[in-house]
């Protein structure tokens, strides 16, 4: 079992969800052989247990025409041939015995069976991810042009075999910040679990509509319709999502994927003319907005809060059933019969969460609402709300307007992760004996060595008490450094401090360091096109830093300047989804012009490649002055 070492950190939660997420999670679709699992083991399932390289896929595609695949790419060409089943979750967990859909306290179950609520007005499909549809869901993209597909992804039609389910989970929220910055124990007393917290439905799984199915390579995917109506867990929310937030989620989940960061995916985006009332900034200004639904895809939508609510309610055996299910389905390398399996599970989640957050930081991404209910047990990025990518470097960057105290500022995300992992540890405590509980505490103490910033915040600004392995290794790669040098940490901290002092653009500083030649740096010559480097070069200590950097590059073994630049350009994006870019696309979309949504979707698929259309749109230029005035909130 891995051991990790970490210091105490403090985090606050403020998210107040009002969007119902109907998941299609329970739908298990055996796409290759075109049948549904009814509890019987199929030939496909048996073969998918083998190593991928050992499966002879030609056997399954020998009669592709009969199975309903297109001849060229083996994709399903009709939804009639793409059937679903919710049997996996229904057989694994007790369902809420109450069938009526009304807000209530629910116990002794994981899911409630709830139908999605179709829009009253006509819906329009405005965006599709071809890669998700074809490569993950094995559908030919032509299927998305059919009426049946639009009905399905808008919640108006339930495909045969599926049972939409709403997922019951909770989360921690901080109601008082007076103790923020004090002891971890004092903070914990001010936290509570929301007993009926979130809504999610599956088709065959959740009522955020989640769909389970297996692709050609044996991978199961859960689908979720975000914004498809109320569930028993909706509290005061209407279960809807608006176009504004749905565009942001669609674009950003796909953008993070192409940046190489673990994330849920977005298959489609539909919009209706139904009015959805929203007080966007919680200031009493309620407005009508267009309703929308995003079809989201992930291997699992279980979160820390899925376990927390069961532990909080004393439902220990159901908690054990859920964790055993998660281990068996998603952590096959963990021995499911070993008495230490829960420790092994926790250790892996700690490791994976630390690396996820380090990757967020490496591209300047701030999630905005890092509550325990928004942290995935599979350590993928979930629930895009008031997120934001930094423009200029600022460790106090807060994308969420509702976060007045800066609980989730970008420089505190590592501490947030540690805090949330501690809540997961406490949720697992009923399943651990006294010795295992001590081991779990030790595992969490090693968290900083995984993330490894351990940088004092005067030097860096990304103020956390975490260490080096994840964060520093990523930033060394961003600077094109090979091997190890005792001064690498200092070199990175030095640069970040210069960026903070000069408010240099985070993304373009690293990108332009990957484009400028070593000869130009040696001559202390910064061409005009490298505007971010010109900004940081105003600092009197920039060129002294350049000299240290060049000296370190000279220690790279068997490396050329061209190889360095190529390597750095492959990991330092030129384009990210800046808030001003998303806002520009949203404004046009509200007038039924989705051209910029499509442009951004296209550009963000290749964030590391210089693209003419992106350059003409100014996506790698200085952000416009009005970008600083943008405000984003939790309102969906």
The DSSP secondary structure of 377-406, one letter per residue, reads TT--B---SS-EE-SB--TT---BTT-TT-
Mean pLDDT of 254-264: 97
Which range (48-52, 84-88, 363-367, 596-600) has the least confidence? 48-52
Helix H, strand E, coil C: the string for 523-581 is CCCCCCCCHHHHHHCCCCCHHHHHHHHHHHHCCCCCCCHHHHHHHHHCCCCCCCCCHHH
Q: What is the pLDDT of residue 5?
A: 37
The residue with greater pLDDT, 17 or 320, is: 320
Q: Over the range 140-168, which residues count as b (16 or more CB within 10 Å of their CB) and which as e?
A: bbebbeeeebbbbbbbbebbebbbbbbbb
Q: Which residues contact 574 (CB under 8 A, 6 or more apart)?
A: 507, 508, 511, 607, 608, 609, 610, 614, 620
Element at 66 (helix H, strand E):
helix 64-67
Which range (159-168, 282-291, 394-403) has the least confidence? 282-291
Element at 220 (helix H, strand E):
strand 220-226
Q: Is the pLDDT of residue 58 over 60?
A: no
Alpha-carbon 448 to chain mean position: 21
**C-alpha count within 13 angstroms, C-beta hemisphere, residue 412:** 25
Closest CA to 402 of 240, 283, 524: 283
Q: What is the pLDDT of residue 128?
A: 98
Q: Which residues contact 399 (CB under 8 A, 6 or more apart)?
A: 366, 368, 386, 387, 388, 410, 579, 632
Predicted TM-score (pTM) of the model is 0.83
Q: What is the pLDDT of residue 74?
A: 61
What does the block give as tokens for 253? 């989940």
260, 369 in Cβ contact below 8 A?
no
Tokens 């504004």, residue located: 244
What percent of the chain has a predicted confidence (pLDDT) above 90? 59
Q: What is the pLDDT of residue 289?
A: 87
Query: Residue 410 to residues 240, 399, 415, 417: CA-CA distances in angstroms?
Result: 28, 8, 10, 12
Q: What is the pLDDT of residue 295?
A: 94
Which range (25-29, 288-292, 424-428) has the least confidence? 25-29
What does the block give as tokens for 536? 């940081």
What does the block give as tokens for 317? 């055996």
Which range (59-68, 170-179, 340-349, 507-516) has the least confidence? 59-68
Range of 28-37, 41-50, 401-410, 553-562 with top mean pLDDT: 553-562
What does the block give as tokens for 367? 């999630």
Alpha-carbon 636 to chain mean position: 16
Q: Is the pLDDT of residue 550 over 90?
A: yes
Which range (78-82, 317-321, 507-511) has the least confidence? 78-82
The residue with greater pLDDT, 138 or 66, is: 138
Q: Is the pLDDT of residue 196 over 60?
A: no
Q: Is the pLDDT of residue 201 over 70?
A: no
Q: Which residues contact 518 (CB under 8 A, 6 or more apart)?
A: 550, 553, 561, 564
pLDDT digit string, tens, across residues 274-301:
988 877 666 677 788 899 999 999 999 9
Distance CA 132, CA 601 (A): 13
pLDDT digit string, tens, across residues 98-123:
999 988 889 999 999 988 999 999 99
Q: Assign residue 589 a region: left if phi > 0, alpha if psi is -120 to 50, beta otherwise?
A: alpha
Decide: helix, strand or coil at residue 221. Answer: strand
pLDDT digit string, tens, across residues 342-373:
999 999 999 999 999 999 999 999 999 999 99
557 — pLDDT class (breaks 50, 70, 90): confident
Q: What is the pLDDT of residue 524?
A: 95
Cross-strand pairs, 292:
241, 271
Distance CA 236, CA 250 (A): 25
Mean pLDDT of 300-318: 95
Q: Is the pLDDT of residue 56 over 70?
A: no
80 — pLDDT class (breaks 50, 70, 90): confident
442, 363 in Cβ contact below 8 A?
no
State the virtual CA torsion across 496, 500, 501, 506 in degrees, nearest 10: 90
Q: Is the pLDDT of residue 13 over 60?
A: no
Supply the mean pLDDT for the chain.
Answer: 80
Mean pLDDT of 367-390: 94
Q: Is the pLDDT of residue 202 over 60?
A: no
The residue with greater pLDDT, 579 or 450, is: 579
Q: What is the pLDDT of residue 64?
A: 33
Query: Residue 623 to residues 514, 581, 620: CA-CA distances in angstroms?
Result: 20, 9, 8
What percent of the chain has a predicted confidence (pLDDT) above 70? 76
Q: What is the pLDDT of residue 127?
A: 98
Distance CA 142, CA 157 (A): 19
Q: List active site positions.
A: 373
Decide: helix, strand or coil at residue 30. Answer: strand
Decide: helix, strand or coil at residue 486. Answer: coil
Q: Which residues contact 85 (CB under 8 A, 6 or more apart)?
A: 26, 27, 28, 29, 36, 37, 38, 161, 162, 204, 212
Cross-strand pairs, 263:
381
């Amino acid at each position: 079992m891995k051991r990790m070492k970490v210091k105490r950190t403090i985090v606050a939660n403020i998210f107040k969800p009002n969007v119902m997420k109907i998941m299609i999670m329970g739908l298990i679709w055996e796409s290759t052989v075109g049948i549904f699992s009814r509890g019987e083991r199929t030939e496909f399932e048996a073969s998918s247990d083998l190593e991928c390289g050992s499966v002879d896929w030609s056997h399954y595609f020998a009669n592709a025409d009969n199975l309903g695949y297109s001849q060229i790419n083996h994709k399903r060409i009709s939804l009639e041939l793409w059937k679903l089943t919710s049997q996996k979750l229904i057989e694994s967990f007790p369902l809420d015995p109450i069938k009526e859909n009304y807000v209530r306290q629910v116990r002794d179950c994981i899911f409630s069976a709830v139908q999605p609520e179709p829009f009253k007005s006509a819906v329009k499909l405005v965006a599709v991810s071809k890669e998700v549809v074809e490569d993950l869901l094995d559908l030919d993209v032509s299927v998305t042009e059919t009426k049946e597909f639009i009905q399905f992804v808008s919640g108006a039609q339930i495909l045969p075999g599926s049972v939409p389910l709403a997922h019951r989970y909770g989360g921690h929220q901080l109601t008082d910040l007076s103790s923020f910055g004090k002891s971890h124990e004092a903070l914990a007393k001010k936290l509570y679990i929301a007993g009926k917290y979130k809504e999610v439905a599956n088709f065959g799984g959740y009522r955020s509509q989640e769909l389970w199915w297996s692709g050609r390579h044996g991978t199961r995917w859960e689908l979720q319709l975000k914004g498809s109506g109320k569930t028993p867990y909706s509290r005061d929310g209407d279960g809807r999502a608006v176009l504004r937030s749905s565009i942001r989620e669609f674009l950003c989940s796909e953008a993070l994927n192409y940046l190489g960061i673990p994330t849920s995916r977005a298959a489609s985006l539909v919009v209706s003319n139904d009015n959805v009332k929203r007080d966007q900034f919680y200031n009493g200004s309620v407005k009508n907005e267009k309703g929308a639904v995003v079809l989201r895809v992930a291997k699992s939508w279980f979160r820390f809060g899925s376990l927390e609510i069961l532990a909080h309610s004393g439902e220990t055996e159901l908690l054990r059933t859920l964790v055993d299910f998660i281990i068996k389905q998603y952590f096959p390398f963990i021995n499911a019969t070993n008495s230490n399996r829960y420790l092994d599970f926790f250790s892996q989640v700690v490791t994976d969460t630390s690396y996820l957050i380090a990757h967020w930081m490496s591209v300047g991404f701030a999630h905005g609402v890092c509550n325990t209910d928004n942290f995935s047990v599979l350590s993928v990025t979930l629930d895009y709300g008031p997120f934001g990518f930094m423009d200029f470097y600022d460790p106090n960057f807060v994308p969420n307007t509702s976060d007045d105290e800066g609980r989730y500022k970008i420089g505190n995300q590592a501490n947030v992760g540690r805090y949330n992992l501690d809540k997961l540890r406490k949720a697992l405590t009923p399943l651990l004996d006294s010795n295992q509980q001590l081991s779990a505490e030790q595992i969490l103490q090693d968290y900083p060595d995984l993330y490894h910033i351990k940088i004092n915040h005067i030097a860096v600004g990304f103020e956390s008490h975490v260490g080096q392995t994840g964060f520093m290794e990523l930033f060394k790669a961003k600077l094109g450094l090979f091997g190890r040098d005792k001064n690498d940490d200092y070199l990175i901290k030095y640069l970040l401090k210069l960026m903070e002092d000069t408010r240099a653009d985070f993304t373009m500083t690293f990108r332009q360091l990957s484009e400028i030649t070593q000869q130009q740096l040696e001559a202390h010559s910064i061409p005009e096109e490298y505007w971010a480097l010109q900004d940081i070069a105003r600092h009197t200590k920039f060129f002294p830093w350049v000299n240290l950097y060049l000296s370190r590059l000279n220690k790279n073994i068997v490396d050329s300047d061209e190889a360095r630049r190529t390597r750095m350009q492959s990991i330092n994006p030129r384009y990210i989804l800046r808030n001003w870019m998303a806002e520009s696309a949203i404004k046009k979309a509200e007038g039924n012009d989705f051209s910029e949504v499509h442009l951004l979707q296209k550009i963000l698929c290749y964030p590391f490649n210089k693209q003419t259309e992106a350059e003409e749109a100014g996506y790698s230029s200085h952000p416009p002055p009005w970008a600083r005035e943008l405000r984003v909130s939790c309102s969906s």
